[in-house]
Structure formats: C-alpha cells, structure tokens
Amino acid sequence: MARRRKGYREDQKVRHNVFDDFTNRTIYKLITEGYIEGLESPLFIGKESNVFTARHKDATRVIVKIYRLESCDFNRMFDYIKADPRYHSLKKRRRNTIFAWVQREYRNLMIAREHGVAVPLPIAFMNNVLVLECIESNGHVASKLKIAIPLDPLDFYEKTLLNMKKLHKAGLVHGDLSAFNILNRDESPILIDFSQATEYESERGEEYLVRDVRNVCTFFRGLGVDADEEKAKKAILSVKKKGT
C-alpha cells in the first residue's frame, strides 16, 4: 500500500474548496511553511475573494483571504493602485495586479500598526493569498460595526476618529472606510480591509479621505452622535504626517 505524503489531508481539504490549481498550490505552500494548518470555516464567499478562518502553527486562529484569479475585477484594482506612488511601475496585467493588491494590503497593515492604528497583524502573503490575525471578541470572530452596534456610540466614534488621525499621521488614507470595514472588538474599533489604502499625497488621496469621513460620520449620526464631517476632517488633517 502506498504511503500518503506528509500534509495529504490538508492538501485534500484545500482542493475540496475547488480553487484553481495555482491557488491550491499557493495555499498548500503556506501550509507546508507553517503559516496555516488547512482552512476551516468560510466567513465570506464572494465573486472576487473568499475569506476563511484557519489555525496557525501555534494553535491560534487566523484569517486567510483568497482572491479569485479568474473572477477578480483587476481593472478596478488597477484603477486604485495606479494612483499609488509606490506602484507607478506596475503593468496592467491580471495576475501582477492581483498579487500587488495583496502585497499592498500586507504593506499597508504593517505601516498602520507601526503608527499605532488598531488593525489586524499581517502574518504572511503569497501570490493571491493573505494571512492575517483573526480579531476575536468573547471567543468568537469579531463582527462588523454595521452588525455589532456599540453600546456607547459617541465613545466608539471618538476612538474611530483617533485611529483615522493615526492613519493620516502614517501618511495613509483607507479609501473605503465604513461600518462594513470596522470591527467591534469589545467596544473598540479595529479597522480592516486595507488593500485599497494609499498614500494621502497621491492623486486621489484627499478625495478618498473625504469619502471615508463622510461614510463614518453618516453612520454615527444615525446612532445619534453629533458627527460633523468638516470638524472630523479638520481634526484628521491637523495631525502632522510622517516626515513633516
């Protein structure tokens, strides 16, 4: 009887999710290198990406975000990324764009954490797959702010605004911040989904900041908070960016 190679079960588990062969090989390599021990429960299944929980080698829970190579709207991704000064040399090719998109989220999360922004710890990225810290609340994966309404909306808003200030100090703007991209961890905000984040000094940086402020203030006004957009924007811009 032939012996099954090491990692056979994990490999079969990955392939059962019916990803393309390239993605399967990427996930399996992350398994063999010890970043994850197979995929667990799906948190989100979308047209462009799938998000799973998994276990790290130290038994902690992590998040695995997998971008679908054939169904990603890489044209939309490229429209975002081409305005980022860090990616001016990127060529408009599907895989290159998707891989850069994943790398950029990892890179943005690292910069944000270095400046004290409450974001998940990025653990590893490879091709179209990103592994990052799983944010938990009361033993479960933390819910999005849109679902987990804070007990004290004003306090939560002020904490969110503080994180936006810190992000501006880091020289970044999220670009898609809303109640769908903020987690409620034990009544404190955790900002997520940083693949579209870019440098504030980029061509559309101010436009993205205005949109982030509008989304956040609109949501909290709906909870009875006096969240004034102009005041919030002024407070964020009053913070000196890195290198200034």
**What pLDDT does 144 receive?**
96
**CA–CA–CA angle 102, 103, 108 (5° rounding):** 100
* Nearest alpha carbon to residue 183 among 42, 43, 35: 43
HSE, side-chain direction, 13 A CA sphere, residue 51 = 11
> Is 20 annotated in the active site?
no
Query: Would you tell me how many other CB atoms lie within 10 Å of the CB of residue 140?
Result: 8
**What pLDDT does 244 receive?**
53
> Is 193 annotated in the active site?
yes
**What pLDDT does 58 receive?**
79
pTM score, whole prediction:
0.88
First to last CA, the chain: 68
**What pLDDT does 88 receive?**
84
**What pLDDT does 70 receive?**
84
Among the options 79, 155, 186, 193, which is catalytic?
A: 193
Segments of the chain assigned E as strands: 39-45, 49-55, 61-67, 122-126, 129-133, 136-137, 140-141, 143-144, 172-173, 182-185, 188-191, 198-199
In tens digits, the chain (244 residues) has pLDDT values of 334 444 444 444 444 445 789 999 999 999 999 999 888 889 988 778 899 999 887 778 999 999 988 888 888 888 888 888 888 888 889 999 999 999 999 999 999 999 999 999 999 999 999 999 999 998 899 999 999 999 999 999 999 999 999 999 999 999 999 999 999 999 999 999 999 899 999 888 999 999 999 999 999 999 999 999 999 999 999 987 665 5
* Nearest alpha carbon to residue 52 among 104, 13, 105: 13
Angle, to 10 degrees, between the axis of helix 205-221 and the axis of helix 153-169?
170
Query: Would you tell me how many other CB atoms lie within 10 Å of the CB of residue 236?
Result: 21
Strand partners for 140: 137
Domains and CATH numbers, the chain: 8-136 (3.30.200.20), 143-237 (1.10.510.10)
Which 3 state secondary structure label does DSSP give 32? helix
Among the options 21, 79, 84, 176, which is catalytic?
A: 176
Pairing of strands 136-137, 129-133: unpaired
**What pLDDT does 16 receive?**
47
